[in-house]
Amino acid sequence: MHELAMVRGIYDVICEQIKGHKVTRVMQVRIVAGALTGVEDMTMKLCFEMYVQRTPLQGAELVIRRVPVKVQCRICGNVYETGIPFAACTVCGNKKMKILSGDELYIDSLEVE
């Protein structure tokens, strides 16, 4: 499963970050997921919940912030947001575009005790 691999990656990063700090509990994990990652909120949260059982992250709340896909038209340079499938350029109507953002997945912040 796609989400499980992502959860594993996030988990490893968090463990690395809290290592060496006096953290007894992780309350909240806020992540940013671009629309292109295909992350589904419910699946991701469920995976996370199961994966962190019996770890220091048990009970932590996962908050997912979505970022839209931003592309730039290769013909006229127009930058616009689009859904999936990609919309044609809002200025010139072309469908040749470069992806600027939307494929990112990273930890925004942690709330720890």
Sites of contact with Zn ion (CB under 5 A): 73, 75-76, 78, 89, 91-92, 94
Report the residue number, 7 or 69, with the smaller CB distance to Zn ion.
Answer: 69
User: Strands 105-112 and 26-34: what pairing?
Assistant: antiparallel
Report the residue number, 58 or 94, with the smaller CB distance to Zn ion.
Answer: 94
Report the residue number, 76 or 84, with the smaller CB distance to Zn ion.
Answer: 76
What is the strand order of the sheet 26-34 is part of?
61-67, 26-34, 105-112
- In whole angstroms, the minimum distance from the beta carbon of 10 to Zn ion comes to 36
- In whole angstroms, the minimum distance from the beta carbon of 24 to Zn ion comes to 53
Distance of alpha carbon 64 from alpha carbon 20, whole angstroms: 26
Instruction: With beta carbons less than 8 A apart as the criterion, state whether 70 and 84 touch.
Output: no
